[in-house]
Amino acid sequence: MSETCIIVGASHAGAQLAASLRQEGWTGRILMLGDEPHLPYNRPPLSKGYMSGEKTFQDILIRHEDAYNRHNIELRLGVTVAAIDRAAKKVVLADGERLAYDKLALCTGARVRRLPNADQENVLYLRTLNDLERIRAHAGEGRRAVVIGGGYIGLETAAALRKFGTKVTVVEAAPRVLARVTAPEMSTFYQRVHAEEGVTIITGARIAGLRGTPRAEAVNFEGGAEIEADFFVVGIGVLPNTELAEAAGLRVDDGIVTDEYARTDDPDIVAAGDCTVHPVKDYGTCRLESVSNAVEQAKAAAATICGKEKPDQSLPWFWSDQFDLKLQMAGLNTDYDRMVLRGDPAEGRSFAAFYLRQGAVIAVDCVNRPSEFVLSKKLIMQRRVIDPAMLADESRPFKEVAA
């Protein structure tokens, strides 16, 4: 009798997992359940090329609809999963329908952290296509936006909104933008470029609340200052969707706990993507919010379901597009003890920042330096100890330095 694999979640991890199951030889039924009404789509362009109108929805689909049909991957979109009955091996939908599984994959992703007491109609978030459509409806020439949160989502949104001629102010609670993820040198660079592109950035901003209802009219700061705007975009991080797993008795610790094979503590349940916390090779246990993590974990998960062992040992990497800046990052910079710059972030828009620990490169941020990015991935994976002066020496091609 044919077995059924149910995938809860239809974004990057779920879509890859379904494809990888077929590639690994799974001949049983594959049923993907998505809470959004849309076919699986690439999320990163929402704050990049799709927001600014360079791409259409067809362009950002992960796969066309006919591809799912051809590979016999069933999609049920716009459905909410209410519970997992592990004893009966059934997924329970919000309307009470019960779907039997032999193998279950949890790819439930993450949701935006919401600003408390801010339910006004022009307070917007950015995670889904519907969120993006709402932002686009507000954007336009001469409109005023306040972006709350100076992380990658906030800065990318600010950059995309500038293309509409929208006046943008970014407010960030920390003393610098990107404080959670990158070095002060990078923050200084991004603050300079945003200023050059007409974005106002206010750091160290303690928000007291939003004034106005049903539409917010201004953001109020502690101390009494305020900034008026036509709309507000909040980008203050995400929370992993772990409630289903937790209610089903699976181990959860700021993410569904998995091993490098994407296994949970139930042999019939795997998990992948933003919703998981898992061992990342060379960096310890982490929860990563990235497409590459979702894709690589999903491949491991599919292999596990098919009875194979293909651990995820991939190097984490991330990217961010803002204005004419193509930022590519590899590795995790936690606990770096030295930074080496190749190129000058104080001038121009092209450089690489290497994060070293005990002489070895553990991470890199590359701005408009695709060659350094590709070559550094190898350096990082090898944990190569390399002379900092060589890394910084622009008179030699990086290919020679990394050889």
Q: Which amino acid is at 188?
A: T
Q: 145, 295, 332, 380: which one contacts another protein (CB under 8 A)?
A: 295
Q: What is each CA distance from 402 to 7, 384, 385, in whole angstroms?
A: 41, 9, 11
User: Which of the stretches 58-66, 74-82, 122-130, 212-220 binds another protein when contact is defined by CB under 8 A?
Assistant: 58-66
67 is an interface residue for another protein by CB under 8 A? yes
CB-wise, 232 or 317, nearer to another protein? 317
Environment class of 20 (CB within 10 Å of its CB; exposed 0-12, middle 13-18, buried 19+): buried
* DSSP assignments along 309-333, one per residue: -----PPPEEEEEETTEEEEEEE--
Question: Rounded to whole angstroms, how far apart are CA atoms 43 and 291?
Answer: 9
317 is an interface residue for another protein by CB under 8 A? yes
| Least spacing, CB of residue 378 vs another protein, in Å | 8
Residue 383-402 contact track with another protein, rule CB under 8 A, x = bound: ---------------xx---
* DSSP assignments along 92-160, one per residue: EETTS-EEE-SEEEE---EEEPPPTT---TTEEE-SSHHHHHHHHHH--TT-EEEEE--SHHHHHHHHH
Site size toward another protein, by CB under 8 A:
33
| Least spacing, CB of residue 351 vs another protein, in Å | 14
- Strand 226-228 versus strand 4-8 pairing type: unpaired
| Least spacing, CB of residue 117 vs another protein, in Å | 36
Q: 72, 80, 371, 382: which one contacts another protein (CB under 8 A)?
A: 371
Helices marked H in 218-290: 243-247
Q: 289, 312, 321, 365: which one contacts another protein (CB under 8 A)?
A: 321
User: Which of the stretches 57-65, 145-153, 230-238, 302-310 binds another protein when contact is defined by CB under 8 A?
Assistant: 57-65
User: Residues 146, 227: contact at Cβ < 8 Å?
Assistant: yes
66 is an interface residue for another protein by CB under 8 A? yes
Radius of gyration of the chain (CA): 22
313 is an interface residue for another protein by CB under 8 A? no
What secondary structure, in 3-state letters, does 120-136 show? CCCEEECCCHHHHHHHH
CB-wise, 210 or 306, nearer to another protein? 306
23 is an interface residue for another protein by CB under 8 A? yes
328 is an interface residue for another protein by CB under 8 A? yes
319 is an interface residue for another protein by CB under 8 A? yes
283 is an interface residue for another protein by CB under 8 A? no
Q: What is each CA distance from 36 to 76, 80, 96, 123, 235, in whole angstroms?
A: 10, 9, 19, 20, 20
Question: Rounded to whole angstroms, how far apart are CA atoms 101 and 86?
Answer: 10
User: Which of the stretches 44-52, 100-108, 210-218, 333-341 binds another protein when contact is defined by CB under 8 A?
Assistant: 44-52
Q: 234, 375, 391, 401: which one contacts another protein (CB under 8 A)?
A: 375
28 is an interface residue for another protein by CB under 8 A? no
Residue written as tokens 């109020």? 220
Question: Which stretches of the chain bind another protein, using CB under 8 A?
Answer: 19, 22-23, 42, 44-45, 48-49, 59-60, 62-64, 66-67, 70-71, 291-292, 295, 317, 319, 321, 326, 328, 370-371, 373-375, 378, 398-399
